[in-house]
Structure 1
């Protein structure tokens, strides 16, 4: 029997129009759901224990576990498989608030200090100093080449760090085409490239955006909770993402850009 699941919130990748009959497959599974690829796009179909995000389709309860390779398709506003069916019409769309320049300026101290709570990812130790130097000099090409596809997990650890770096560069207003090119050129999985592409647009999971908002508001309790929430994502994905945000925040070019945007120029006395 096909299970009918009710969407709670969907990311913009899911909400985008697709041709009827677009086919795809389940490409991975995790505790609370699965990843599917349809018409070249990746979705995460998951229960409410998973935070909303740009490629996420959050449903009222975790879907039944399905095998990798299961066929899925879009059909008249529905996402279907032989195991479940979701009607996407009318579902709320996840559109997180993007940090403003003043938010980033106010959040800088907390985001930089956050690094001292994090262990360096074990599978990146051999290249970590090179990664630090690349991010510190805003050399995103070098950072991509060092991090792409490196490490374990459904999204390799290096890609998660790179996603955090891209987020910060997107939030500070860097050239979106250049950031999307970095994401597209990453030699990694389709799933990771999807997360990287949305990071290049400035979007991540809801608690990541909460993290910056709490830091900007000097809400220590809220910030600590957001750090804990993000750190608990995946085996190491959340910690790696936080490292990317922390490293990029510390980069001299980033801090300089935020200060320039946040502090109005002095008026001439003439």
Structure 2
């Protein structure tokens, strides 16, 4: 829902925290399409329910810095090599790869924006992963924000992209990078499985964007130990 220019995704406690997620103990019983919702002081209200925002903890994940991203990059590249190209983006994939490798984010946005299926289109999820990596490596925040806000897509997707441009995503995404940088294989495998299971294809597409941008970012750490086993249980698209 969009209220006073802010986007909220209201969800129950089973959903991972994220920058636009409003996690509630009990989900409102009545949320019909087009329901009027407004801010009333510290409350989010409709005609039938209200949510007290004053007791809500603000989501503020720790963002990886350039040095941590450098450590994580080889692991993220190895992860990417196990992913299948999203079917609904296959015809655009090679130009997307070239644009990301060259650091041409506007070109990547134009190729990806609004493409594919899902509540957040597949292309937008890939673009979000790309923006996250560029934010973590310290690229100009204003330029990243311009790429996100210019995306020709839904308000929901654009909101996710705007937060990605600030370096924020769902909690398991941050855990994924932290575990990769720390050399925690078990934790990385678990985080990769969690992210890949998000939505019908959103999580895998997000991993694709992170992997593509991490490849362009570089990083020279050895990855032999990550390839020794089966690797993270990343779910590919059918």
TM-score by length of 2: 0.90
Deviation for aligned residue 1:65: 5.1
Which runs of structure 1 show a deviation greater than 6 angstroms over 4 or more consecutive aligned residues?
none
Match runs of 1:99-248 below 5 Å: 99-248=64-213
| Match of residue 55, structure 1, among 14, 20, 34 | 20
User: Which structure ranks higher in relative contact order (CA pairs < 8 Å, sequence separation ≥ 6)?
Assistant: 2
Inter-partner Cα distance in structure 1 for 2:103 and 2:73: 17
Q: Is the 8 A contact 1:47 1:61 kept in 2?
A: yes
Which structure 2 residue ranges, 5 or more long, are not aligned?
222-238
Q: Is the 8 A contact 1:106 1:216 kept in 2?
A: yes
Which structure 1 residue ranges, 5 or more long, are not aligned?
1-35, 260-270
TM-score by length of 1: 0.79
Inter-partner Cα distance in structure 2 for 1:41 and 1:90: 18
Inter-partner Cα distance in structure 1 for 2:57 and 2:135: 24
Report the RMSD for the aligned CA atoms in angstroms: 1.4
Rg bigger for which structure? 1
Q: Is the 8 A contact 2:65 2:138 kept in 1?
A: no
Q: Is the 8 A contact 1:231 1:239 kept in 2?
A: yes
Inter-partner Cα distance in structure 1 for 2:27 and 2:84: 31
Q: Is the 8 A contact 1:46 1:63 kept in 2?
A: no
Residue deviations 1:6-30 (CA, integer Å, cap 9, x gap): xxxxxxxxxxxxxxxxxxxxxxxxx
Inter-partner Cα distance in structure 2 for 1:192 and 1:90: 27
Q: Is the 8 A contact 1:47 1:63 kept in 2?
A: no
Q: Which has the higher strand share?
A: 1
